[in-house]
Amino acid sequence: MIGLDFDGTLAPIVPDPADARVDPAAAAALVRLGGLVGAVAIVTGRPAATAVAYGQVEGGPGLGDVPGLVVLGQYGLERWEAGELTSPPPPPGVARVRAELPGLLASHGHPVSDGGVPGVTIEDKGRALAVHTRRAADPEGSLRALREPLAKLAAETGLLVEPGRLVLELRPAGMDKGHALAAFLAERGARSVLFAGDDLGDLAAFEAVRLSGLPGVTVCSASAEVTALAERADIVVNGPAGIAALLSALADALDAS
């Protein structure tokens, strides 16, 4: 079984999350692998349908063409399979965060960017909201300044804060990539597993691979922004292009065997 994160793993990180698109070479390799391995799953903080949409490739095969693909979105709260989406309603705290977040950011000197002006941005995922500082004048400083107020808002609304690459996401508790991956491995009766990721949220999936008791490989899509995964990974490659090359090589090897 092959499991992968989306942003930073299958798709390069970009200033605007809405511009993220899958690496075409990675999509093509997964289309090949879908017919060669027991299962292919994408485990992402993105809404599942968004990952599928951003995984389409003009003039070539995309994620929607991967045989048997399952997308576990919102850290496993959503599931996309064979064109069908299953998802629970968002918890009530998300609506309060949606209403209060712009004012909170402005009150701490970080008004939401509008019309291309540099600043923080809000990504509304439906069941979670992410505050990105990549486009701020001081991305790291803005991230540090917003940690405490966002943590307080999350605590007041029954949510938790998921840190990432210049992003702080307020999302429901009770599910993470580790739980999602472990449940999927059990569901499919997996005999081996490879999981690839790039960010702190993928550490839980790495741990799930370790605890599964299966022959397993963890892969880090490396970046200068996050080093913790590289320290825990069995294989380290250079970003999404490296992931695409690894998947292609794996497909070649399985084809040859």
Known catalytic residue at 124: no
Beta bridge partners of 218: 195
Residues 6+ apart with CB under 8 A from 88: 77
- Token pair of 72 as six digits: 């576990």
Q: Which two tokens stand for residue 234?
A: 């069995």
Given the residues 5, 7, 199, 202, the one annotated as active site:
5
How far apart CA 179 and CA 232 sit, in angstroms, is: 18
Separation of alpha carbons 98 and 122, rounded Å: 9
Burial 33-49 (b: 16+ CB within 10 A, else e): bbeebebbbbbbbbbbb
Contact 247, 33 (CB under 8 A): yes
Which of helix, strand or coil describes residue 235? strand
For residue 93, what are its two tokens? Answer: 């705290």
- CA separation for the pair 18, 135 (Å, rounded): 13
**Residue 111 in contact with residue 119, Cβ under 8 Å?**
yes
The residues carrying an active-site annotation are 5
